[in-house]
Amino acid sequence: MNYSKKYLNFINGRHAGAGIRITLGIVIPAFVMAYFGNLPVGLIISIGALCVSVGDTPGASRHRFNGMLASLLLVTGVSILTHLTASQPLMLAILITLGGFLFSMLTVFGARSSAVGIAALLVMVLSLQSKLDNTGIWINAAYILIGGFWYIVYSLLLYRLRPYRFIQQVLADYIMDVSRYLRLRGHLYAPKPDYEKIGEQLLKQQSSIEEEQHLLSDLLLNTRTIVKESTHTGRVLVKTYMEVTELYEAIMTTYQQHHVLHEQFEHTGILQEYHDAIEKLAGEMQEVSIAIQSGIASEPSGEIQKSIAKTREHFEDLRQHVMDDDNVEDFVALGRIQHNLEELADQIEQLHLYSSYEVKLGKEVGVPHRLGETIRNEDIRPSLFLNNLNFQSNIFRHSIRVALALLVGFIVAQVMNLDRGYWILLTIVVILKPAYSLSKKRNTDRLLGTLIGVLAGFLILLLIKNSTVLLVLMLILMAGAYTFMRTNYFIMVVLMTTYLLIFFHYIYPSDLQGLMVARMLDTAIGSVIAFFASLFIIPAWERTSIRSYMIKIIDANEKYYSVVASHFTEASPLRNEEISGARRESLIAMANLSDAFNRMISEPKRYQQGLKNVHRFVTLQHGVITHVASLSYLLQTASSNFRSPLLAQVIENTRLYFDNARLELLHTGTLVTKPDNTALKQLNESVNQLLAARRAEINSGDLETSTKRKLVETKSVTDQFNFLRRDASAIYKLACAHDAEMQGAA
């Protein structure tokens, strides 16, 4: 993607849109009140809007309203309590400690509830900057309430004015993420690919795609009054999402033994042609993404079909002159790649039509059940909160950590008599996260970002004296800060620090140097407290919790495997809903395990016992999902009619490996029956007989026969069962190795 397209993608993206929306929602009250000569009141109203904006997390409008309303009520109440106790340091310390714990515990209910808790902590900290009398407390709370109410009305009104805009932006991001995933898969066909690095990148990208799917499903299914087939635009958006999801599944399920392909075909140049074709396919998807985001229809470039035609011609030439009875098995795999690329090209060309909204669709666009499977409904039962009040809960430990860190920060600010000690608490609130690795990264970003922001602010104020220019620049920096709020914390801190210095220049023009020093000092103190809190206050190292993620992925993958594989034992009606549900559970478990492993990498070396085994375990589990998804894809597309009762025994014996791995990790001391691979050997023997027959046909010059079709159908299925049995066996061995290493470390 060239720079102009990257720029177009950025300015039309949902993050830039959110940055501008939040900025205007916060500053409009201040500007309006400043116009009437009452800027201090405008600033308080803006603080209310700022805090409620934290609860305005992406999702369906009714979920956003619930989050903002909860933020409004909690923020107003916390503001009153904080000011009531402000004159009594002991009571204030108790409030800060309890608030830090309770509001952090809201994370147990999900991301939206976590944002509500952060909003409450934010207003509690910001309320420390001033002391009010009894009347002032209630007036201040009223202004906070007005500001929050203003932001709710403002945000929902913008959504009503352009109901499809946010869905289009998220859908565009989804398509862009799938294109990146496709490009990464294409790297496997480039010369000398780094399989391990590409595998890790695929896992991360897959996690990002899953998040986009959750959000899109929430938007499309929970905003049915708008997109329930009532308008052409709504139908096209739903249809586009369905097409891209099917395309993504097709990409994800095209597993090949790439190292074998490189050994056999590297010298022919066809793998490089496949790589080039995939690059073009990914580029076309990016064009569709930009078109949906910008509202300007895209058109196929024509390069895809030329590229695919070239690979088809090369493939047929190799079949005619290179294929023999020794490499026929490898040509079966190569043929599958060629077929998959041709199907992807057709699907992507169809996406170009959807970007124009000129495609004709019926009034009823069926929304598949699996769309609902990707929605994460937040559980807000009180029992969930109570069940997490123990040291086995990472959120409980994190909440205690936040509470004690805030208490220490408050005591330090009181002892040092700092004028703006609330900056210390603010730093602690935004830095401390449940995982040490996240806190560590945020700490570094906060310190470095603040330093750069202070220097940038100083230079701006030194070089620019025009108040209007400074005001415009401050608004741009503010919008930029909120644009990167959810994507790049370091850039956000740099921009926010810079605009805050300009803002304080307006409020305290004679004390800028003191403000800069105070900002750096308070940030440094808060960062140090947060660092030691994450390191020493009941830390939760991943080595102690990752075993539970390993067990969950085994359970999920065994279920997914059983549901899909059972269809190959005999002809039976396809249980689509059960398959999609099992796949969803596997992908969630895989994302959780992968995230835990990535957090483990960032922890101190002395706490990384078992890292290599876990890494291999993650890779194998991803392979299991890919192989099962490949079998599922063969079922969904009716690409194979192969069925065999022998597979019932193969399935059972593969599951035994999963069961043994689970029992090993659970320390039960007992194992189930040793797996017997006799049935799989019999299946492989039947495939070998087909291969022998096919080799004989090739030697006689017969390229297109019924034996070829039967071989492709049979081998496509049996290969996946062989891969799954191999991976399941390796998973069991790794579980044993990990358990032995952890017991030795203990």
- Which one has a higher pLDDT value, 139 or 454? 139
Amino acid sitting at position 621: Q
What CATH number does residue 168 fall under? 1.20.58
- Which one has a higher pLDDT value, 729 or 601? 729
Specify whether 155 is located in the same domain as 179. Answer: no
Specify whether 682 is located in the same domain as 738. Answer: yes
Residue 52 in any domain: the answer is yes
Amino acid sitting at position 732: Y
Specify whether 334 is located in the same domain as 426. Answer: no
**E strands in 382-443:** none
Specify whether 99 is located in the same domain as 175. Answer: no
Percent over 90 (pLDDT), the chain: 27
What is the C-alpha to C-alpha distance for residues 169 and 166, in angstroms, rounded to an integer?
A: 5
Residue 408 in any domain: the answer is no
Residue 76 in any domain: the answer is yes
Q: What is the mean pLDDT of the chain?
A: 84
User: Residue 471: which pLDDT band, with cuts at 50, 70 and 90?
Assistant: confident
Side-chain half-sphere CA neighbours of 21 within 13 A: 26
Whether the per-residue pLDDT at 367 is higher than 60: the answer is no
Specify whether 485 is located in the same domain as 619. Answer: no
Whether 169 contacts 17, CB under 8 Å: yes
Specify whether 142 is located in the same domain as 209. Answer: no
| Of the residues 532, 558, 584, the one at which a domain ends | 532
Q: Could you give the residue ranges of the DSSP H alpha helices within 667-705?
A: 678-699
Specify whether 455 is located in the same domain as 437. Answer: yes
| Of the residues 125, 146, 161, the one at which a domain ends | 161
Whether 305 contacts 195, CB under 8 Å: no
Residue 312 in any domain: the answer is yes
| Closest alpha carbon to 736 in 672, 665, 655, 669 | 665
| Closest alpha carbon to 616 in 743, 729, 722, 730 | 730
pLDDT by residue (tens digit) across 659-693? 999 988 887 666 666 778 888 888 888 888 888 88
What's the domain count of the chain? 4
Specify whether 96 is located in the same domain as 238. Answer: no
Residue 88 in any domain: the answer is yes
Is 0.85 surpassed by the pTM of this model? no
First to last CA, the chain: 51
Residue 425 in any domain: the answer is yes
Specify whether 152 is located in the same domain as 182. Answer: no
Specify whether 133 is located in the same domain as 262. Answer: no
Residue 698 in any domain: the answer is yes
DSSP string, 337-394: HHHHHHHHHHHHHHHHHHHHT-S---S--PPPHHHHHT--PPP--HHHHHHT-STT-H
Per-residue pLDDT, 412: 93
Whether the per-residue pLDDT at 639 is higher than 70: the answer is no
| Of the residues 131, 161, 191, the one at which a domain ends | 161
Q: Token pair for residue 741? A: 């290493």
Specify whether 673 is located in the same domain as 634. Answer: yes
Residue 192 in any domain: the answer is yes
Whether 70 contacts 106, CB under 8 Å: no
The region of weakest confidence among 116-125, 131-140, 215-224, 453-462 is 215-224
Mean pLDDT of 150-178: 89
The region of weakest confidence among 190-194, 245-249, 302-306, 434-438 is 434-438
Specify whether 28 is located in the same domain as 141. Answer: yes
Question: What residues make up the domain containing 211?
Answer: 164-373
